[in-house]
Amino acid sequence: MTTTQHDRRRSTAARAVLALAAAVAVMAALPAAGQVLESDRVAEEVTFTKDIAPILQRSCQKCHQPDALAPMSLIDYEEVRPWARAMKYRTGLRDKMGVMPPWYIEKDIGIQAFKNDPSLTEEEIAKIAAWADNGAPLGNPADMPPPVAFIDVDEWEIGQPDLIVSSPSVEVKADAPDWWGAVADVETGLPEDRYVSAIEFKEITESRVGEGRQTVGGRFVFHHAVIRVVGPDFDEEDPLAAAGLSSWPVHEVGRNADVFDPKAGKEMVANSKITFPSLHLHANGAETRAHLDIGFKFHPRDYEPEVDQRLIAFGNGVDLDVEAEHPNQTMESYFVLPDHARIAVFEPHMHAPGVRMCLEAIYGTTIETLNCSGYDHSWVRVYTYEDHAMPLLPKGTILHITGWFNNSASNPNVPDPRNWSGGGNRSVDQMFINIMQGSYLDDDEFKAALAERERVLDLTPGERVIGCPLCGVDDPLNEEAAAEEAAAAAEAEREAAAAEAADAAGAGQ
């Protein structure tokens, strides 16, 4: 027998042994006669009244109700049943473009504690899938939860505002080209100085003639609106104003509410006015007249902020180069914190080809991914960290964002992927910015914030937490010692993770 023949026979024998082993494994995994798999049992138990209705009430019905934002109502079983398969698909997208509810934070990396998070758990996603696959059964009517009383098309996420200010009305023809520019100022009528705890924008349609477009962006004409809240003594030389920016949140299509750091309410002085230095309007397929309502929620009258919340945005809005027909292009930008900082808001802002952004914090040899998020230009999301999860970052930390762009036919937001695009204000132009809100802290404020974080999270000495590289460090403002201690803690954590992974791999063999 030749060596080749011997090797071929030995290889054939080995394959036969492997095939037999695989068959035995498959047979062992099959249920015995009459046995019901756990997954089948769970699927049979999932019903609309008991399992699906509570999910819809919490995360869907705010938009999916008659005459609201969404194109269909999801209140009653008869309304929901035809959409069962679509619900399985859309919720199964998780953090990708098109997911419902529209929340794109990736849950396998980074900080996960956010205010007003409507996203579904893996268990809830599995329940919706099982329900759809099993014929979408109604279940026992007695299990149906009572209707949610607060569901209303005019509901505000921040609760009833203490002050509502309306912008000037605008009129946009059904197929008009994009327009951007300034509109007239509006007086607030505020008789006294107050501090704002939250702000929310609502586009109000006054009239609409024509069918329009059945998309989120297609129901509105305001793509974005930059506002400034200015008092009688406003400095017209304000550098943010000169750059067309503002320390106040920007309205964007699909945007959720902004809740400020409770230690950093934003001041609105008596007799102030709201200016609109930059509006971007687009046609929606129907002749539309509309305006913005801006709702402000105030802190109590005796409130005094401890720190100053401001815009800490960075990115690249000018020299972008998005190639035609390119499905997976990346871009990067960096920013060095000039002072210690507490970050309250992570807000990726891109345009139509944008599909993902990640935010990293680099301090010494410690590199942490704070968050990664999908992106959908029809639903611009603001991610406000819970108070105990706001990144606390020392002076000199390098913030790094990476953006992913899909300028191909597979991205439904791109009108014509054959076109190259660069930076600009139109939706068909590009932006790549992290519009963060945060507060700069001096040494004493930063040490106090670290101590409070360690107390609230009950951290032991040396215990690390994402977004706080100096938590648990003995001498956090001794830069050299702190960097060494943070690096040692990070290395210990990496070694522990590697050991855990090795143990898990060994257990699986």
The pLDDT tens digits of the residues spanning 104-160 come to 999 999 999 999 999 999 999 999 999 999 999 999 999 999 988 655 566 788 999
CA pseudo-torsion sign 184, 190, 196, 197: negative
Q: What is the pLDDT of residue 21?
A: 41
Helix ranges, 418-478 (H): 443-456
In sequence order, what DSSP letters do the residues of 327-358 get, joined into one string?
Answer: EEEEEEEEEE-SSEEEEEEE-EEE-TTEEEEE
Lowest mean pLDDT among 167-181, 201-215, 289-303: 201-215
* Interior/surface letters 441-478, b for 16+ CB within 10 angstroms, e for the rest: beeebbeebbeebbeeeebeeeebbbbbbbbbbeebbe
Q: What is the pLDDT of residue 218?
A: 66
In sequence order, what DSSP letters do the residues of 14-47 get, joined into one string?
Answer: HHHHHHHHHHHHHHHHSPPTT---HHHHHHHH--
Q: DSSP assignment, residue 463?
A: -
State pLDDT tens for residues 417-459: 999 989 887 767 888 999 999 999 999 999 999 999 999 999 9
| 42 vs 205: which has the higher pLDDT | 205
Q: What is the pLDDT of residue 28?
A: 40
Nearest to 103 by CA among 59, 63, 61, 56: 59
| 188 vs 9: which has the higher pLDDT | 188
Nearest to 69 by CA among 200, 175, 214, 171: 214
Q: What is the pLDDT of residue 252?
A: 85
| E runs forming strands in 231-339 | 251-252, 258-259, 266-268, 273-281, 287-298, 309-311, 314-315, 326-336
Element at 185 (helix H, strand E): strand 179-187
- What are the backbone angles phi and psi of residue 397, rounded to the nearest 5°? -60, 135
Q: Three-class SS of residue 359?
A: strand
Q: What is the pLDDT of residue 472?
A: 86
Both structure tokens of 330: 């990346």
pLDDT at residue 38 above 60? no
pLDDT at residue 39 above 50? no
- Mean pLDDT, residues 242-253 taken together: 76
User: From CA 347, how far away is CA 258, in angstroms rounded?
Assistant: 11
User: From CA 28, how far away is CA 21, in angstroms rounded?
Assistant: 10
Q: What is the pLDDT of residue 152?
A: 58
pLDDT at residue 2 above 70? no
Q: What is the CA radius of gyration of the chain?
A: 27
Q: Do 361 and 436 form a contact (C-beta atoms < 8 A)?
A: no
User: From CA 462, how far away is CA 452, in angstroms rounded?
Assistant: 15
User: From CA 51, how far away is CA 121, in angstroms rounded?
Assistant: 13
The vertex-217 CA angle with 214 and 220, nearest 5°, equals 95
State pLDDT tens for residues 332-369: 999 999 999 999 999 999 988 999 999 999 998 899 99
pLDDT at residue 391 above 70? yes
User: From CA 228, how far away is CA 272, in angstroms rounded?
Assistant: 10
State pLDDT tens for residues 263-304: 889 999 999 999 999 898 988 889 999 999 999 999 999 999
Both structure tokens of 298: 């105030």
pTM of the predicted model as reported, rounded to 2 decimal places = 0.79
pLDDT band at 180 (very low <50, low <70, confident <90, very high): confident
**Percent share of the chain, pLDDT over 90:** 58
Nearest to 221 by CA among 256, 178, 260: 178
Both structure tokens of 453: 């974080």
State pLDDT tens for residues 54-81: 999 999 998 888 877 778 889 999 999 9
Q: Three-class SS of residue 147?
A: coil
Q: DSSP assignment, residue 149?
A: T
Strand bridging mode 251-252 / 179-187:
unpaired
Q: Do 393 and 130 form a contact (C-beta atoms < 8 A)?
A: no
| 150 vs 465: which has the higher pLDDT | 465
